[in-house]
Amino acid sequence: MFFSNRTEFFLGFLACFSMLAVGAYFQFIEELEPCPLCISQRIAILITGLIFLAASLHNPKSANGTCYYAGFGALSALFGSAVSARHVWLQNLPADEVPECSPGLSYIFENFPLAETVKLMLSGTGECADVLWTLFGLSIPAWTFLAFIGLATLSLLQLKQK
């Protein structure tokens, strides 16, 4: 790459921050209510961004330190890509195979046990199948999937530099 590891990790952080800002725009300005899988993807973006920020601030001088940050960054981005892939899969199911809608997220958090809440947030529900916005034929989860793959690639490229 053309930049130092510190700069590349910081660019990854800026990408995650931008993704969260776009999600906030869609939620609060465009009034698109996020589904459980959207929230799960945002959590994965946040975790990935925090790993990149920590790597940028710490700027490890040893190859081992860089490897740890790159590995954890790649793992969190790949987890996010798996959630995004599931979301895209749900959006492409035939209408008769879409799972039932669940109660609202606030109700789920207040009344369901933690294990059930996590299961619902990672498996998706009927509202996750709705495509509310597209750009060049790709939905928000599809763009998020591509972004996660890019973040994982950026993270893994740090291993090649050392």
pLDDT tens-digit readout, 91-113: 777 767 666 666 666 777 777 77
CA-based max dimension of the chain: 55
Cα dihedral 59/18/72/74 (nearest 10): -110
pLDDT tens-digit readout, 4-63: 888 899 999 999 999 999 999 999 999 888 888 888 899 999 999 999 999 999 988 887
Give domain 5-161's CATH architecture.
Up-down Bundle (1.20)
Q: Report the DSSP beta bridge partners of residue 138.
A: 135
On whether the CB atoms of residues 162 and 9 are closer than 8 A, the answer is no
pLDDT at 39: 86
pLDDT tens-digit readout, 133-152: 677 988 889 999 999 999 99
Question: How do the domains of the chain map onto residue ranges?
Answer: 5-161
139 in helix, strand or coil?
Answer: strand
pLDDT at 100: 64
Q: What is the mean pLDDT of the chain?
A: 85
